[in-house]
């Protein structure tokens, strides 16, 4: 593999070893030429039910018998139509429109464009965007602009647009909420974008559901659009289908990707309220929502999404989410008693803990060392700086989860 022309994502080729070659995937397991790995990070948080989940792979196979990509402007197809209906039924109330794209980042770009389009088309142009400190929404220029700035995007800073940053909501979030109220009162705030309950790439930082409720109320008072980026938190990660469900909150715009297809194949959707759709509905073609990507609503991906949505609609998931959350809690509590760790935290199926180190931050040297250590023990981890987290597919067994947490405990021990 050393002569590979592949330039890998978030990979420092000078220091990282050649990666194992994956041969097969099933359940929580990735089979490689170096042996079996337990996927403790759901392959960058996409795999929900398990790898190669039979109903989803079956749906892709069946769809591929009759369809491939077709242009989605001026044509439609059954998998996209059915999936949109299922999504509206599963989503928080009031989200009636579904715009397809192909990745988490594009779903966020679409959300930001919808928000600004809404304000422009209703004759009250607003373009300020509020964001949470330590947020992450993708790696395109627009999504980096609304995310936290740091070593991973310093080179591109000159191209990014300015946003209004709110402090991370500690405790009851009072400081964050009063800062937001003051900003929103200016009357020119178009939208707030946030990851509800768990800031993923920002270090698995978790906050209270009542903060979401507080933000919704402030949005309502000042007409600010609330964009929930559920790209990571959606499809059960936080213990409910959507993180917003914990607060009974409906955003104006919701972004979903990753678990939308159970993680098997790329697809994203941005859901919006009827008001936002109607702001773009006009005899005047200049009010069109001007966004597309070549692979919008790919039929194979939509078929996978539909198979996934039907699993959730069948209501069989809550018990499985509760079981994973309980297994995680037990193991997290056990490891939290060990001195090298601090700040144990959990929201639903996501558990995280920090290694006590002198130099924290994304480039903390401990991260790659722990990753290599876990790999040797058949566990796939990818620490965020000195934060170790376990975000498994929901099919993970107690024994597999033991092996994952043991690998972490051994490292520190
Ligand atoms: N939003 C959030 C909250 C994410 O966690 C991610 C990806 N980790 C993205 C957006 C971007 O998704 P993608 O990598 O599919 O573009």
Task: Output the CA 396–ligand 1 centroid distance in Å.
Answer: 23
Percent of the chain, pLDDT > 70?
A: 97
Task: Output the CA 138–ligand 1 centroid distance in Å.
Answer: 5
Burial 372-387 (b: 16+ CB within 10 A, else e): ebbbebbbbbbbbbbb
- Average pLDDT, stretch 64-80? 98
- Closest C-alpha to ligand 1, atom 2: 137
CB atoms within 10 A of CB 223: 13
Q: Is the pLDDT of residue 413 over 60?
A: no
Q: Are 73 and 32 found together in one domain?
A: no
- Average pLDDT, stretch 360-388? 89
Q: Is the pLDDT of residue 361 over 80?
A: no
- Closest C-alpha to ligand 1, atom 13: 104
pLDDT of residue 139: 97
CA distance 407 to 413: 10
DSSP string across 258-305 = GGGGTTSS--EEEEEEHHHHHHT--SSGGGS-----TTTT-HHHHHHH
Environment class of residue 127 by beta-carbon count within 10 Å: exposed (0-12), middle (13-18) or buried (19+)? Answer: middle
Give the ligand 1 atom nearest the CA of 199: 3
Give the ligand 1 atom nearest the CA of 200: 5
Looking at residue 337, the DSSP 8-state letter turns out to be: T
pLDDT of residue 196: 98
Task: Output the CA 200–ligand 1 centroid distance in Å.
Answer: 9
CB atoms within 10 A of CB 129: 23
Task: Output the CA 334–ligand 1 centroid distance in Å.
Answer: 31
Whether 29 is covered by a domain: the verdict is yes
pLDDT of residue 357: 80
Interhelix angle 174-184/209-222, rounded to 10 degrees, is 10
Task: Output the CA 104–ligand 1 centroid distance in Å.
Answer: 4
- Average pLDDT, stretch 109-117? 98
CA distance 299 to 72: 10
- Average pLDDT, stretch 377-389? 96
Per-residue confidence at 4, pLDDT binned at 50, 70, 90?
Answer: very high
Interhelix angle 398-412/317-336, rounded to 10 degrees, is 20
The domain boundary, picked from 274, 294, 313, lies at 313
Task: Output the CA 137–ligand 1 centroid distance in Å.
Answer: 5
Give yes or no for a contact between 64 and 407, defined as CB atoms under 8 angstroms apart. no
Whether 260 is covered by a domain: the verdict is yes
Task: Output the CA 339–ligand 1 centroid distance in Å.
Answer: 33
CATH number at residue 68: 3.40.640.10
Q: Are 241 and 100 found together in one domain?
A: yes
Give yes or no for a contact between 354 and 365, defined as CB atoms under 8 angstroms apart. no
Percent of the chain, pLDDT > 90?
A: 93
Task: Output the CA 389–ligand 1 centroid distance in Å.
Answer: 17
Task: Output the CA 232–ligand 1 centroid distance in Å.
Answer: 7
Looking at residue 223, the DSSP 8-state letter turns out to be: T
Give the ligand 1 atom nearest the CA of 266: 15
Give yes or no for a contact between 348 and 240, defined as CB atoms under 8 angstroms apart. yes
Task: Output the CA 230–ligand 1 centroid distance in Å.
Answer: 9
Per-residue confidence at 366, pLDDT binned at 50, 70, 90?
Answer: confident
pLDDT of residue 118: 98
Whether 16 is covered by a domain: the verdict is no
Whether 7 is covered by a domain: the verdict is no
Tally of domains in the chain: 2
Give the ligand 1 atom nearest the CA of 106: 16
> 36 forms bridges with which residues in the sheet?
31
CA distance 381 to 370: 8
Q: Are 131 and 213 found together in one domain?
A: yes
CA distance 397 to 391: 13
Q: Are 47 and 190 found together in one domain?
A: no
- Closest C-alpha to ligand 1, atom 12: 104
Q: Are 244 and 358 found together in one domain?
A: no
Ligand 1 binding residues, C-beta < 6 A = 45, 103-105, 108, 136-138, 195, 200-201, 229, 231-232, 257
For ligand 1, pick from 232, 244, 293 the residue to mutate: most ligand atoms within 8 Å of CB: 232
Q: Are 88 and 237 found together in one domain?
A: yes
Q: Is the pLDDT of residue 329 over 90?
A: yes
CA distance 257 to 272: 15
CATH number at residue 402: 3.90.1150.10
Per-residue confidence at 43, pLDDT binned at 50, 70, 90?
Answer: very high
Whether 307 is covered by a domain: the verdict is yes
User: What are φ and ψ of residue 364, in 5° steps?
Assistant: -50, 130
Q: Is the pLDDT of residue 1 over 60?
A: no
Task: Output the CA 44–ligand 1 centroid distance in Å.
Answer: 9
For ligand 1, pick from 104, 382, 389, 391 the residue to mutate: most ligand atoms within 8 Å of CB: 104
Give the ligand 1 atom nearest the CA of 258: 15
Q: Are 173 and 281 found together in one domain?
A: yes
- Comparing 5-19, 63-77, 218-232, the range with the smallest average pLDDT is 5-19
Q: Is 43 helix (H, G, I), strand (E, B) or coil?
A: helix
Task: Output the CA 256–ligand 1 centroid distance in Å.
Answer: 9
Q: Are 170 and 256 found together in one domain?
A: yes
Whether 370 is covered by a domain: the verdict is yes
The domain boundary, picked from 313, 333, 359, lies at 313
pLDDT of residue 340: 87
For ligand 1, pick from 137, 269, 293 the residue to mutate: most ligand atoms within 8 Å of CB: 137
CA proximity to 302, closest of 109, 47, 46, 101: 101
Tens digits of residue pLDDT in 143-162: 999 999 999 999 999 999 99
Q: Is 334 helix (H, G, I), strand (E, B) or coil?
A: helix
Tokens of 155: 């080179």
Whether 323 is covered by a domain: the verdict is yes
Alpha helices in 67-208 (DSSP H): 78-90, 104-121, 141-145, 174-184
For ligand 1, pick from 131, 145, 258 the residue to mutate: most ligand atoms within 8 Å of CB: 258
Q: Is the pLDDT of residue 205 over 80?
A: yes
Q: Are 350 and 408 found together in one domain?
A: yes
Q: Are 72 and 179 found together in one domain?
A: yes
pLDDT of residue 123: 92
Q: Are 210 and 358 found together in one domain?
A: no
Q: What is the mean pLDDT of the chain?
A: 96
Whether 17 is covered by a domain: the verdict is no
pTM of the model: 0.98
Give the ligand 1 atom nearest the CA of 195: 3
Q: Is the pLDDT of residue 303 over 90?
A: yes
Q: Are 244 and 299 found together in one domain?
A: yes
pLDDT of residue 359: 63
- Closest C-alpha to ligand 1, atom 5: 232
- Comparing 77-81, 119-123, 335-339, the range with the smallest average pLDDT is 335-339
Q: Domain range holding 322? A: 22-52+318-412
Q: Is the pLDDT of residue 360 over 70?
A: no
């Amino acid at each position: 593999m050393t002569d590979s022309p592949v330039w890998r994502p978030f990979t420092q080729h000078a220091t990282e070893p050649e990666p194992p070659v994956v041969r097969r995937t099933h359940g929580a397991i990735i089979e490689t030429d170096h042996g079996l790995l337990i996927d403790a990070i759901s392959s960058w948080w996409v795999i929900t039910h398990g790898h190669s989940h039979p109903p989803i792979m079956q749906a892709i196979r069946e769809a591929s018998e009759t369809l491939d990509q077709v242009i989605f402007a001026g044509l439609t197809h059954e998998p996209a139509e059915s999936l949109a209906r299922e999504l509206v039924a599963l989503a928080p109330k009031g989200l009636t429109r579904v715009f397809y794209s192909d990745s988490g980042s594009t779903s966020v770009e679409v959300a930001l464009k919808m928000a600004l389009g809404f304000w422009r088309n209703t004759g009250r142009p607003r373009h300020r965007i509020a964001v949470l400190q330590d947020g992450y929404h993708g790696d395109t220029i627009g999504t980096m602009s609304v995310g936290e700035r740091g070593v991973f995007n310093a080179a591109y800073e000159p191209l990014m647009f300015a946003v209004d940053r709110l402090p991370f909501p500690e405790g009851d979030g009072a400081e964050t909420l009063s800062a937001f109220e003051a900003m929103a009162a200016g009357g020119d705030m178009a939208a707030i974008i946030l990851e509800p309950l768990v800031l993923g790439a920002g270090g698995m930082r978790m906050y209270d559901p009542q903060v979401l409720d507080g933000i919704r109320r402030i949005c309502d008072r000042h007409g600010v659009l609330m964009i929930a980026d559920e790209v990571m938190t959606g499809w059960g990660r936080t213990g409910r289908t959507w993180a917003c469900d914990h607060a009974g909150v409906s955003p104006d715009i919701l972004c979903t990707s990753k678990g939308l297809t159970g993680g098997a194949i790329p697809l994203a959707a941005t859901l919006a309220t009827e008001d936002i759709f109607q702001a773009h509905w006009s005899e005047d073609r200049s009010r069109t929502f001007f966004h597309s990507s070549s692979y919008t609503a790919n039929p194979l991906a939509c078929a996978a999404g539909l198979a996934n949505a039907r699993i959730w609609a069948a209501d069989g998931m809550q018990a499985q989410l509760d079981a994973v959350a309980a297994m995680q809690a037990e193991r997290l509590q056990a490891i939290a008693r060990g001195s090298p760790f601090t700040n144990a935290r959990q929201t639903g199926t996501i558990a995280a803990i920090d290694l006590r180190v002198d130099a924290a931050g994304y480039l903390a040297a401990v991260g790659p060392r722990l990753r290599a250590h876990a790999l040797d023990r058949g566990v796939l981890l990818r620490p965020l700086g000195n934060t170790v987290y376990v975000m498994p597919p929901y099919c993970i067994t107690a024994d597999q989860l033991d092996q994952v947490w043991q690998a972490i405990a051994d490292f520190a021990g």
